[in-house]
Chain A
Amino acid sequence: DTAVSQTPKYLVTQMGNDKSIKCEQNLGHDTMYWYKQDSKKFLKIMFSYNNKELIINETVPNRFSPKSPDKAHLNLHINSLELGDSAVYFCASSPRTGGYEQYFGPGTRLTVT
């Protein structure tokens, strides 16, 4: 059973397009996250939701909009994609907010051409 799943695994698209990445966790966790990992492997948090409520919103362009329809899902929508958006995006979850043990999805490799 996959604990944290993301779709799609790979996403290749052109500049200016709009795309979405979906994330689901079946761990019963209250908190979910989106991270961006750049080519140097540096992991940067983008957003965190606790029980469908946004609690962390780092300095991310407003072209990125997270949506949490329920506490098991956290989707990421990106408008007007730019070359610099190319990266691996990871979804994660933890039992509750506050830096507790986090479990990661397999990642989505986004390539913008």
Chain B
Amino acid sequence: GIQVEQSPPDLILQEGANSTLRCNFSDSVNNLQWFHQNPWGQLINLFYIPSGTKQNGRLSATTVATERYSLLYISSSQTTDSGVYFCAGRGSNYQLIWGAGTKLIIKP
């Protein structure tokens, strides 16, 4: 079955809105990470979050490892937040298992 599943697949918001992106992962996946791929294709490491909550400016992430999910919160969205957000976790073979991504479009 799917090991890392992200929702929603697409999200269109107005500038200033808040959003929550979700990542569900199976038993064989842990050590969650969140990445942002901007419209220029650059992959940026946002959070390494095996469990608990971390905050970085307008972004924060929470992983509840016992319930096998992680959430990425974006507050007061800006157009520069547009892009694809990926979560990835360590699989049983120690490789990163990637979700399919959430495509976020922030309209001015």
Contact = CB atoms under 8 A, between A and B. Distances in A.
Interface of A: 41-43, 45, 48, 56, 88, 90, 92, 97-104, 106-107, 109
Contacts, number: 47
Contacts of B41: 88, 106-107, 109
B91 A107 contact: no
What are the nearest 7 A-B pairs in CB distance? A99-B90, A104-B43, A101-B48, A98-B94, A43-B98, A99-B94, A107-B41
Interface string B56-99: 00000000000000000000000000001010111100111010
Contacts of B89: 99
18 contacts: A41-B37, A41-B101, A43-B98, A45-B95, A45-B96, A48-B95, A97-B94, A98-B90, A99-B89, A99-B91, A99-B94, A99-B96, A100-B31, A101-B45, A103-B45, A104-B43, A107-B41, A107-B43
Contacts of B96: 45, 99, 102
B11 interface: no
B100 interface: yes
Residue in A56, A97, A102 with the greatest tally of chain B CB atoms within 10 Å:
A102
B28 to A, nearest CB: 11
Interface residues of B, number: 22
B101 A102 contact: no
Nearest to B45: A103
Given A99-B94, A101-B48, 11 more contacts: A41-B100, A45-B96, A90-B43, A99-B95, A99-B96, A100-B48, A102-B45, A104-B35, A104-B42, A104-B45, A106-B42
A42 B35 CA distance: 13
Nearest to A48: B95
A99 B43 contact: no
Nearest to A105: B43
B24 interface: no
